[in-house]
Structure formats: C-alpha cells, structure tokens
Structure 1
Amino acid sequence: MSCPDCERIHLLPEASGTLYLAPVLAHTRAALRRRMVDEQLPCAEPTSGILALPVKGAGGLGEMLVRLQQALSSSEQAGCRATFVPDGENFGLGHLQDTHLLSTLIARHNARDLSAILASDSLDFHFQPIVRAADPSEVFAYEALVRAATPGGDPIPPPDLFRTARNAELMFHLDRSARINAIRRAVERGIASRLFINFNPTAIYDPAFCLETTVREIMSRPADRVGPSGFVFEVIESDQVNDIEHLSRIVDRYRRAGFQVALDDLGAGYASLNMLSQLRPDFVKIDRELVSGIDRDVYQQKILDKIVELARDLKIEVVAEGIERAEEWRWLKDRVDYCQGYLFARPAAEPPLPQHPEQA
C-alpha cells in the first residue's frame, strides 16, 4: 500500500496546447487582460472570465510561464488558477487534478533541477555523528543530512532545495525521496549504528499511505543489519506544526513499525514544549541557539536545566546539537545524554569518526 501520486514527479508538458487562466477576482482579470495586451501575448477569452493562451512546440509552456512571471506581480500570479490542455484534447473533469495556481506552475518551471533530481532519484547525504556526552569518542548514532546538486554539478543549499519544493508543491515528493535515500545511502556506506532521519510532518497527508514506502524500505534490509529500533525519525520544523493530532498519528505509525522518534529544536518556542508532553518522543534535540555559549550565559543554563528535568520526568533522552566549543561540551556533558556538532565532526559523505575535545 503506497501513494502513487507522491511517486510520480510532475514534469511540465512539452506538447503544444492551450494554457487556460482563471483569475479569481474581477480586478485581477482586468489587470491580466491589460498585461496580455501590453506584453503582446496572444490571448483569447473563450468564456467570460477565462483567458486562453496558445502554447506552441516543445518548451513553449516554459517560455510562456517565464513571460507571465515577468509580466505579472506575485499577487496576480497567486490570484489566478491555471491548467494546460494539450492540442487534440478538450477540457474535462480529468484536467481538474492538474489545475494549480499560476504561481505554482511558474515555480515548477523554475524547479526543473529539483524535478530532475527527484526523477533520477539522485539525492545524496552527508552524515554527522551523535556522540555520547560523557565520552565523545563513542558514536551513538549518525544523522543523515540531505545534499543535492544540479545536473551540472553545482551544489544546491538545503534551504534553497526545500524552499523550491514548497513553492512548486513538491514537498511531498522531496520528503519521501529524502527518507528513502537516507536509508539507502547509510546502508551503502556501512553505517551499522542508529540513524536519525529527518522528516517534515506537513509533507505527509495520511500516515497509512505516505509512510508505507519508507517502512518497506527499512523492512527490506538484511536481517543482520540494524533493525527497526535502530532508525530514529526526527521531526523537523516542529515549531511550525499546527496540527498536533496529525503529527501524533504519524508518530504512532512509526512506533507500530518499531521505529523511534525524535523532536528537534526543543527550547525554540512554546509549541515544541507542548508537543514534548503530548508526543512523548524517545529523544529530544536541544535547539542550537540555546546551546551556543551556554557555558557563559546563566539565563540559557536555567532554561536548559528545566528542559532536561522535564525530559527526565518523561523518560526522554536528550541530545544537545550545534556544539562548536569545548567549553560548551564541558558544561553539558554531565547534564545531557548525547552531543552533536562541529566540535566532534563535520558532516561528510563518508561517515566520519568523532574527535574527543580533550584529545585533539
């Protein structure tokens, strides 16, 4: 059981046809008509309020979207529904599933590199060790951190990758591909310890369907490798989660499969503290802004002590991330369970061994 829509990459059609635009507001319709005339874009109005733009030849739709992006403001793009109908087809109910905001179609055209990466299943990963706080030379787990490059080999910063996916409505596809390829790359590179895999709960509609390919990928691994309990699914952007019940269903699905769950950025806001008590994750990761300089900030120290006390009461293990200075680690090592940061090792394609701060 899986969701074929998240496995199909939505590439823009290459055929000739007609791009239909349906502005929601009369003001937007009038503005669009004026812009079409000003930009000398051929345009018809087959029915009241619907504009039809002819698209010619392979690449014609992309060229039209570029012109529309240049001609229309972002609010005009977002206030207009759009769908493309190839020559020889009449608009019907089947086209409704391919109807999007014009801004989304433009974003999809601009996301050609991302679409190619997803279509070729070429996401890569770097790995960073999570070490035992008391003995940083001992690896407890690795976190898989997504990496991607354009077809020409230029690296794409992860924030740009996810921003592009959101704008193009490809977050579901990116999140699914990232989960599966994190597992594959870890196996290829011989990681036998726990693996922390990031996931965005807003990119999962129905846990029963959206997570099934991830569960199957792990269950297909050889029995002599790490079992389900060796995989920790880490909720990223937890401060942006508004539907706790939905996240709880995701967490329950992972736990029924035998996996563990981590909550990131604890201490970044009230929302994550609220989720801590409701979700009872196996691990929490302390926000790096709270960790940075903690050895010399009494205010940060008091907050962290209270968070750790709450986690201990709930039988949750604590990871401090973003550690870059030995003084931070010395203050933390008797308070938290695990540590992560550049002080011990930077992320690398080949899983690095950590460096003990006192043996450097």
Structure 2
Amino acid sequence: MQRPDVLFDETHCGQCACGEGLDFQFSFAFQPIVDVSDNTVYAYEALVRGLQGESAWSILSRVNEQNRYSFDQICRVKAVKLAAKLGMDAMLSINFMPNAVYQAEYCIRTTLAAAQTYNFDTRKIIFELTEGEDLSSIDHLVSIIKAYQGMGFSTAIDDFGAGFSRFNIMTASPPDLLKIDMGLIRDIDRKPNKQAVVNGIITMMTELGGRIVAEGVETVEEYAWLKGRGIRLFQGYLFARPGFETLPEPHFPDIG
C-alpha cells in the first residue's frame, strides 16, 4: 500500500504528519527490564496508556486498519520524546506493529527524526514485536528484523510461547532478545512441563547468540528457578509495576 511521506513535526505535541485522521490521544507508562547480574535497569518498556493512565486496551481497541500506520508512527515519536524528557539512560523498548510497516527503511524516518530532535541515542532503542499479531507474511517480518538490526537497533519478540510461536523467524533472522510469555513463567518453579519447554528455549537462544527476558515474574520462587537456569533479564511485578509517565525504581529480591 502506498503511504504519504512521513515528516516529523515537533510543533504538533511530538506528533508527525502521518498522524492525520487519528482522533484519540495517548501517553505511556514505563516498566523496567532489570539485569540481575549487576542489579541495574537494562531497559524500560513503553506501555501505551490513556492520558489519565487508562488501560492499554482503552487505546489499542481504537486502532484499526485505517489508523494503524499513524498510530504506530506516533507511538514511536511519543515514546522517544517522553523517554528523553524523563532522562532515560537505559534502553527504550518500543512495541511496533509489523502490519503497519510497509518498508522498514522508509517507515523509520520519523523515529530517526524524533531521536535527533530530542537527542536520544538510536542505539538505545529496542523494537519489540508482539508474537501474537496476525501477520500475512513471515518474510515481511524477517525483512523488518534484518533491516532494523542493520540500522543498529535491537529487536525483540514479545510473548514467545503464547501460542503463536514462529520458529521460522528464529531460523531466518533471530532477534536480539526473546521475551518468554508470562503464561510459561507462572508457577514454573513447580510445573515440570513448563520447565522442559523453557529449558529448550534457553538452549535455543544461547546457541543463536541472543538473550532471554523472563517477563511477568511475580514470585520469588519463579525468579529463583529462572535465575538458576542462567536468565539474567527480568520484567514483572516482583521488580516493579509500570509507572505512568515515570521511570520506576526496581526492587531486587534477595534470594541468597
């Protein structure tokens, strides 16, 4: 599909020319992804919220075929602008919609312009794909991942193991980060079947040279089991809840 040129316009509240036709506004909450090898914040994931902190669903339910491209582009600009305003010095993880990216090199222009305007290092940006999105072409997704990695961005697949696992992506163009779905994480310390699956994912990513993020971690027992398997990047309520337009300080449980 042909799209109009994308031009960043700082004068329109951090939006861009591609935002025409988007009839709702939104902001972000940030949740830390922590590195327990040195008890630091590795990244903050930008989670879409309403202007008063309303749920992600209150915004995402309004995204459709007609406004998906504008929404995806504006998400990037707003996330970069707010991260810069808050003085974020960790990585910034931005969820993107592959079906809104018709050509990676072209659609990235707005992100690059925003990063330059707000003095945010593009090498600190992670583009995160939600694994469950309905994709018409795996080849298209692989081309996006390769293009973003070639431009110096990090890439991640979110919710891996949620039921839409795309192992063909892993063989064609593995991401830098693989986020294990919280459904696999929950009660993993006492679920042998989940343990077997996660052990396999750990082996796969180790051999592919990528890193794993265990997301949705809520209990010390889950954390201890996963850390004992060599995972070092974690995200979840055990460490910090998302903070609306703030950068929450994480808590690091002592598991001995």
TM range (shorter): 0.7 to 0.9
Counterpart of 2:142?
A: 248
Counterpart of 1:214?
A: 111
User: Contact 2:80–2:118 at 8 Å: present in 1 too?
Assistant: no
State the shift of 1:2 in Å.
3.3
Counterpart of 1:115?
A: 23
TM-score, normalization: structure 2?
0.86
TM-score, normalization: structure 1?
0.62
State the shift of 1:211 in Å.
2.0
Q: CA-to-partner distance for each residue in 1:271-303, whole Å, 9 max, x for gaps?
A: 333322222111110011000110110000000
State the shift of 1:221 in Å.
4.3
State the shift of 1:3 in Å.
3.4
State the shift of 1:8 in Å.
4.4
Counterpart of 1:345?
A: 240
Q: Aligned to 1:285, what secondary structure does the other structure show? A: strand
Are residues 251 and 220 of structure 1, via their aligned partners in 2, closer, same or farther at CA, if it must alter by over 3 Å?
farther
Question: Does the alignment pair 1:131 with 2:34?
Answer: yes
* Pairs within 5 Å for 1:141-156: 141-149=43-51, 155-156=53-54
Counterpart of 1:302?
A: 196
Q: CA-to-partner distance for each residue in 1:10-69, whole Å, 9 max, x for gaps?
A: 2xxxxxxxxxxxxxxxxxxxxxxxxxxxxxxxxxxxxxxxxxxxxxxxxxxxxxxxxxxx
Out of 7, 27, 49, the residue aligned to residue 18 of structure 2 is 7
Are residues 279 and 219 of structure 1, via their aligned partners in 2, closer, same or farther at CA, if it must alter by over 3 Å?
farther
Q: CA-to-partner distance for each residue in 1:233-258, whole Å, 9 max, x for gaps?
A: 10124452231111122223322321
State the shift of 1:209 in Å.
2.4
Are residues 296 and 247 of structure 1, via their aligned partners in 2, closer, same or farther at CA, if it must alter by over 3 Å?
same
Q: Where do 5+ consecutive residues of structure 2 fail to align?
A: 8-15
Q: Which amino acid aligns with 2:58?
A: D
User: Contact 2:43–2:90 at 8 Å: present in 1 too?
Assistant: yes
Question: Does the alignment pair 1:162 with 2:60?
Answer: yes
Question: Does the alignment pair 1:268 with 2:162?
Answer: yes
User: Contact 1:129–1:143 at 8 Å: present in 2 too?
Assistant: yes
State the shift of 1:165 in Å.
1.3
Are residues 283 and 357 of structure 1, via their aligned partners in 2, closer, same or farther at CA, if it must alter by over 3 Å?
same
In structure 1, C-alpha distance between the alignment counterparts of 2:117 and 2:103, rounded to whole Å: 22
Q: Which amino acid aligns with 1:161?
A: I
In structure 1, C-alpha distance between the alignment counterparts of 2:108 and 2:17, rounded to whole Å: 11
In structure 2, C-alpha distance between the alignment counterparts of 1:239 and 1:298, rounded to whole Å: 28
How many equivalent pairs are there?
242
State the shift of 1:260 in Å.
0.8
After TM superposition, the runs of 4+ consecutive aligned structure 1 residues lying more than 4 A away are none
In structure 2, C-alpha distance between the alignment counterparts of 1:271 and 1:116, rounded to whole Å: 32
User: Contact 2:146–2:173 at 8 Å: present in 1 too?
Assistant: no
In structure 1, C-alpha distance between the alignment counterparts of 2:143 and 2:5, rounded to whole Å: 17
* Pairs within 5 Å for 1:1-360: 2-3=5-6, 7-10=18-21, 115-117=23-25, 123-135=26-38, 137-149=39-51, 155-166=53-64, 169-222=66-119, 227-269=121-163, 271-335=165-229, 336-348=231-243, 349-358=245-254
In structure 1, C-alpha distance between the alignment counterparts of 2:189 and 2:177, rounded to whole Å: 23
State the shift of 1:159 in Å.
1.9
User: Contact 1:267–1:273 at 8 Å: present in 2 too?
Assistant: no
* Superposition CA RMSD, Å: 2.2
User: Contact 2:27–2:48 at 8 Å: present in 1 too?
Assistant: yes
Q: Which has the higher contact order (CA 8 A, sep 6+)?
A: 2
In structure 2, C-alpha distance between the alignment counterparts of 1:316 and 1:125, rounded to whole Å: 27
180-189 or 205-214, which deviates more: 205-214
Q: Where do 5+ consecutive residues of structure 1 fail to align?
A: 11-113, 118-122
Counterpart of 2:11?
A: none
Q: Give the structure with higher Rg (CA).
A: 1
In structure 1, C-alpha distance between the alignment counterparts of 2:85 and 2:19, rounded to whole Å: 25
In structure 2, C-alpha distance between the alignment counterparts of 1:312 and 1:345, rounded to whole Å: 27
